[in-house]
Amino acid sequence: MKRCLALLALAFSVLAATPAPAQQDQIFGKTGTPIRGTIVGISPTSVRIETTGVTRDIEVREIQKLVFGDEPADVGTAREQALAGQYENALASLKKVNLAEIQTDAVKQEAGYYAAYCNAKLALTAGGDRRVARDGLFEFIRANPATYHFFEAAQLLGDLSFALNEYAEASKYYGALAKADWPEYKMRAAVLQARAQSAEGKFAEAMAAYDQILASGLNTPEAVEQKMQASVGRAVCLAATGRHEEGITIIEDLIAKHDPNDASLFGRAYNALGACYLKAGKTQEALMAYLHTDVLFFTDGESHAEALYHLTKLWAAVNKSDRAVEAGNTLRSRYPGSRWATMN
């Protein structure tokens, strides 16, 4: 929604002041030891902390989590549970929190964000009303536009819209990532928007976006990751437009040259390979491609749900009705909130 971008502009107009807590706050980065001190400002792109007489601005893209010195224990527990994917447990922990007793706005925001975050994640996986979850997350961002969770929330809003098959809305939310100063975020926004265009059948537009991403001279680790995701998306577009052999070549090359420990990339890659084989009329090869995702890269839920959806059809096509039923049951039981489960 356009309101999302307007909120972003508001968020960048000020660095929101946060009252100093009685105990030390901590910033946990993606690497290294935590930074301890007093958090004195929060914005969508950075967190300001005073430590040993020095003020530092830490970029949000380097932050794994914040821990506030005066937060209730249940808020900390809920955060850890949420980050570990234990969404229902996190919500249960948050129910124990008395928000009226919290003195620091930043801590109240943390509790509010993880409640909205967990509801959104559950709606995408375990089931629930995705529209209600999206509205709840949007309302949190509307009320707290300076949150350091802004970009993470924008992507999650896009994911919820994507799951609702509202691809134009998804693209708008993903577009908020492009407002960040970091080129890697702009690339991620472009990949996600192109994926939404492809799902909507706008293959020419998606292809143009993927080509632009792949032509970028930026080669940081995250940029390389986005380029690989763009290659996968490009192969999907090629398959959809009758150029499936080109798509197969792209994916086989990617699989041969990159680390299979990246479950998100390889799950999407094998699904793209399956899509190419389906368009080529090669049922057995398509089945094997999707089976790779099912057996080896099931830790990426979205890719696994997609693979299971296609396996229900492909097992039936090769007269393995028991395997088709098994795949369908796994899809519905493990990913009832996935859009693939509603399509089955």
pLDDT for position 173: 97
**Per residue in 297-337, pLDDT tens?**
998 888 999 999 999 999 999 999 999 999 999 999 999 88
Percent of the chain with pLDDT over 90: 81
**pLDDT at site 95:** 96
Average confidence (pLDDT) over 129-146: 96
**Residue 25 near residue 66 (C-beta atoms within 8 A):** yes
Q: pLDDT at residue 4 above 80?
A: no
What is the value of pTM for the model shown? 0.88
Residue 242's pLDDT is 92
How confident is the model over 165-189, as a mean pLDDT? 95
| Mean pLDDT calculated for residue range 279-306 | 94
Asked if residue 291 has pLDDT above 80, the reply is yes
Tens digit of pLDDT for each residue in 237-269? 999 999 999 999 999 999 998 888 888 899 999
At what angle are helices 130-143 and 2-13 packed, to 10 degrees? 30
